[in-house]
């Protein structure tokens, strides 16, 4: 059973002939007859009887039509869903790191979604990049500019970076660093200038933040995860001369989509607000 076939039953009932149903649905008359025969075989009942050149529904067909009419009503209601919602309508998948989703986007998502009742956001969080070429996400926020790809890319802005170290500690503070594959990022470039031995390696900035918060470790954190540490008098914060660029990737076919455009504007506003704070 599929909806296209079931609509043929209603069209034949309304028009009275295969030819009439064919014209109404804009399909070939032989296709109408073939699909009806297929449904009759599947149900094991006869749907129409010919009388005076008109196809009249059988009692079994009337029972089927009652369900078809209910389905048509539901289909019409589905089509009107967007009419009852103000603004753009759509579901968008946003891929980002965990900390960007948690610290930059999600605190501002509630107001955005209330202002746009037709939108649904799905956050895809991971330290690994989604495969944009396979359409695993509609938008993606990256902290490294992709070399190439079939998508639109624009710079969202940059993120301030701070090096934290305890003001006083017994012995050498434990240095926290990122994995070797992230050696080109500004954080690692700065850490290589330090003489301290790396004692903790992770790509999870929350792990580094927690170690720094205990006043026994040193490391580099982006501004959106360290606001509480900047006021800690037991820590010394140094603003790095280099910042981390942030890039927005958008599937090409969505660039002019109204729901995508309003979401892009919101993402930009989230990063602008973070930088001001």
pLDDT tens-digit series, residues 9-42: 999 999 999 999 999 888 999 999 999 999 999 9
Average pLDDT over residues 157-175: 88
Going by pLDDT thresholds of 50, 70 and 90, the confidence category of residue 162 is very high
pLDDT at 169 > cutoff 80: no
Whole-model pTM? 0.65
- 129 CB-contact burial (10 Å; exposed 0-12 / middle 13-18 / buried 19+): middle
Q: Give residue 143's pLDDT.
A: 86
Indicate the pLDDT class of residue 269, thresholds 50, 70 and 90. very high
- Mean pLDDT across the stretch 248-263? 91
Residue 93: alpha-carbon gap to chain centroid: 1
For residue 39, CA distances in Å to 17, 27, 30, 158, 273 come to 17, 17, 14, 61, 59
pLDDT for residue 129: 62
CA 45-50-55 angle, to 5 degrees, is: 85
pLDDT tens figures, 203-225: 899 999 999 999 989 999 999 99
The CB density around residue 173, as the number of other CB atoms within 10 Å, is: 21
Please, which residues bridge with residue 153 across strands?
Answer: 249
Asked if residue 34 lies in contact with residue 27, where contact means CB atoms within 8 angstroms, the answer is no
Which secondary structure element, helix H or strand E, spans residue 32, and what is its range? Answer: helix 29-43
Contact 230, 132 (CB under 8 A): no
- The single-letter DSSP state of residue 100 is I
Round to whole Å and give the CA distance between 202 and 181.
11
């Amino acid at each position: 059973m599929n909806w296209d076939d079931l609509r043929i039953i209603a069209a034949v009932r309304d028009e009275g002939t295969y030819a009439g149903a064919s014209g109404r649905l804009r399909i070939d008359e032989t296709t109408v007859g073939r699909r009806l025969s297929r449904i009759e075989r599947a149900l094991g009942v006869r749907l129409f009887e010919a009388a005076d050149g008109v196809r009249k529904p059988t009692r079994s067909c009337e029972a089927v039509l009652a369900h078809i009419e209910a389905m048509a009503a539901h289909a019409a209601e589905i089509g009107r869903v967007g009419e009852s919602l103000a603004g753009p309508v759509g579901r968008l998948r946003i891929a980002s790191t965990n900390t960007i989703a948690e610290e930059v986007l999600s605190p501002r998502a509630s107001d955005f979604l209330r202002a746009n009742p037709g939108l649904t956001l799905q956050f895809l969080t991971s330290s690994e990049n989604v495969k944009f070429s396979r359409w695993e996400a509609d938008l993606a926020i990256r902290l490294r500019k992709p070399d190439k790809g079939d998508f639109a890319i624009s710079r969202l802005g940059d993120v301030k970076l701070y090096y934290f170290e305890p003001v006083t500690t017994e012995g050498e503070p434990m240095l926290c660093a990122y994995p070797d594959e992230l050696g080109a990022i500004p954080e690692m470039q700065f850490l290589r200038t330090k003489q301290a031995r790396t004692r903790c390696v992770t790509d999870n900035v929350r792990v580094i933040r927690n170690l720094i918060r205990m006043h026994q470790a040193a490391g580099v954190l982006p501004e959106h995860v360290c606001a509480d540490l900047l006021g800690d008098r037991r820590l010394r914060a140094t603003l790095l001369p280099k910042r981390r660029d942030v890039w927005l990737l958008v599937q090409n076919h969505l660039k002019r989509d109204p729901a995508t455009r309003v979401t892009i504007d919101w993402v930009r506003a989230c990063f602008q607000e973070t930088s001001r704070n």
